Structure 1
């Protein structure tokens, strides 16, 4: 088991069977009783700020640590191997993402600011009569790693359980493409969907924008952009924004960034490297609202928001700060605090237990909002 876990982080070349082996590890962890999981971790139950760490995640993190996997990136500083880091994230997400829901999938292409933009569509009901609601999803990965395949299982799940068409955006990544390339791609993808909503069978005024981590930051920035654009020209606004443990201040110095800087998958070193690869040399400062949406001057007039934070996430505090700032600006906010979770938990439902329950709660909360819009 420990050999498989080591390969998950890309510390060694990943074999072709890595996702299958990782999935097997997930199944083993799933069936372990909570007490046994904690016992096998070799530590007492971990409790920080009154939040007990999920037992399965505690054992999972222990396995990572014992095999030398210290974060999301392979290498450190200028020696980071981006290709291996991307492969490691892909295999981990595929291995622990759970079974893929049987929905129809098609790959589309939209015009982007730097050429064709890949968009993967997940159809909830290809035979549906009339326009259906949609979710535009921006994946996580620090603006550097992550891709459509990493998020395939999640997007299938969202499509099936929410009954919406999901459009997963293949935006450009750093370091090949510096900020604000990702922002420009995501804005273009949203505008394309709104403009072609009728042809796609999508209801233009029932489009949710959402994403996790870096994708959460992109979600926030897209809602700012759409609001500002609508002040000068007709552009349908998102009906809801889903921000899953978002990056909200690129240069944040929060307590959670210090408290969880090591040992909880996403590390302080990872975040420093992501920021450097995405922003350094871009011409943008780390305080620019296009990379730090919490620092935008005006947060009013934005669509209702669901903000998800995880108790053992370095990004926890800035996510909470963004939720509070939205409330202060008059935006309706539902804030779900997943106390026992770590950064990235939505990609690990294959671990079962509290991870699966937390993801199910996120999905049911989004579903309740969509039903509320229908009732209204």
Structure 2
């Protein structure tokens, strides 16, 4: 066994042991973290403390290639071990993709399907980094999940990721039979940057009158201007940092002026929600995390959609941090949040 593998096993065991302690014990270890009238979940608090003790490097402080490897290593530490009935690697046009088939959606026919885009600030993340949450979403929701890679910055700048996401959606409509998808029960979704891509894809679908049944937006980035109180409150110490956000912006859209950053392909909150477009927009389940720098912009987008007449369900997981979607194995409170998200997905595509 290699040193890196031994380190992974030791860190994973230590993390699960600490966050798996009974709640009454967790509450006695350290002080509660209260900010903006919210209390951080004890198991999340202990996970962050262990990361600091282990001196886990912040990915944004590393060269990009090394940071990508480090992000995947860190997500693997907190990932769950959920199983699905089938999984298939395939190509969605020019893009790598993975299809997850739960027990409830085996066999021929047309099934509900979520087209999923991973987070990572448009710079990091891939099929591997979000393998665990896709498995859990598929199995708990009873829907097929098609996770699609897209081009990353700084090698590929805006609007490359947006264009890839939209191309993947168009491919899905044309090849629904190949992945067993029911075009009347399609969802687009993603977390963080992936939530941004899903929201922009849904806007394009509404503008063109294309079929879409649900938007599943998990702490999405919706406003590239980022002048929010949540960024000031939670931009340090809660996993997603101001430094990461700045690096992502510099990598993906450094060429854009402040006015150009209002482009709805990167800032959906500024989209023109004309009545004809709003009437065709798919219903939205949008969730945020209480201790997330992106919290306020995600909730602002939910309010904007609701004011335009779009069906929106907004859910804030007050005790969670950005990244909880990936923490399905090591943090019980985060896993419970993801299971709730999966149930909302199931209901939205019923």
* Alignment TM-score > 0.5, same fold: yes
> Which of 110, 113, 118 is residue 96 of structure 2 equivalent to?
118
Query: Is it true that 1:300 corresponds to 2:300 in the alignment?
Result: no
Matches within 5 A, 1:126-137: 127-137=106-116
Instruction: Give the Å deviation of 1:127.
Output: 4.4
Q: Assess, with a 3 A threshold, how the Cα gap between structure 1 residues 139 and 335 changes in structure 2: closer, same or farther.
A: same
> Which of 10, 26, 46 is residue 21 of structure 1 equivalent to?
10
**CA displacement, residues 90-133 of structure 1 (integer Å, 9 cap, x when unaligned):** 1122221111313311111122xxxx211111122574242111
- Structure 2: unaligned runs, 5 residues or longer: none
**CA displacement, residues 156-186 of structure 1 (integer Å, 9 cap, x when unaligned):** 1112122211110110000110011001111
> Which of 86, 89, 96 is residue 78 of structure 2 equivalent to?
96
Instruction: Give the Å deviation of 1:59.
Output: 1.3
- Rounded to whole Å, the distance in 2 between the matches of 1:17 and 1:297 is 52
Instruction: Give the Å deviation of 1:137.
Output: 0.2
What is the root-mean-square deviation of aligned Cα atoms in Å? 1.9
Q: Contact conserved, 2:192 with 2:219, CA < 8 A, in 1?
A: yes
Return 350-359 or 282-291, whichever deviates more: 282-291
Q: Contact conserved, 2:223 with 2:266, CA < 8 A, in 1?
A: yes
Q: Contact conserved, 2:195 with 2:221, CA < 8 A, in 1?
A: yes
**What SS does structure 2 have at the residue aligned with 1:120?**
strand
**CA displacement, residues 186-214 of structure 1 (integer Å, 9 cap, x when unaligned):** 10111111111134321111111000000
Moved over 6 A (4+): none
Q: Contact conserved, 1:46 with 1:52, CA < 8 A, in 2?
A: yes
Aligned positions, number: 342
- Structure 1: unaligned runs, 5 residues or longer: 1-13, 372-376
> Which of 15, 20, 26 is residue 31 of structure 1 equivalent to?
20
> Which of 311, 324, 330 is residue 332 of structure 1 equivalent to?
311
- Rounded to whole Å, the distance in 2 between the matches of 1:134 and 1:91 is 28
Q: Contact conserved, 2:115 with 2:169, CA < 8 A, in 1?
A: yes
Matches within 5 A, 1:305-316: 305-316=284-295
Q: Assess, with a 3 A threshold, how the Cα gap between structure 1 residues 324 and 127 changes in structure 2: closer, same or farther.
A: closer
- Rounded to whole Å, the distance in 1 between the matches of 2:232 and 2:106 is 50
Instruction: Give the Å deviation of 1:220.
Output: 0.4
**What SS does structure 2 have at the residue aligned with 1:84?**
helix
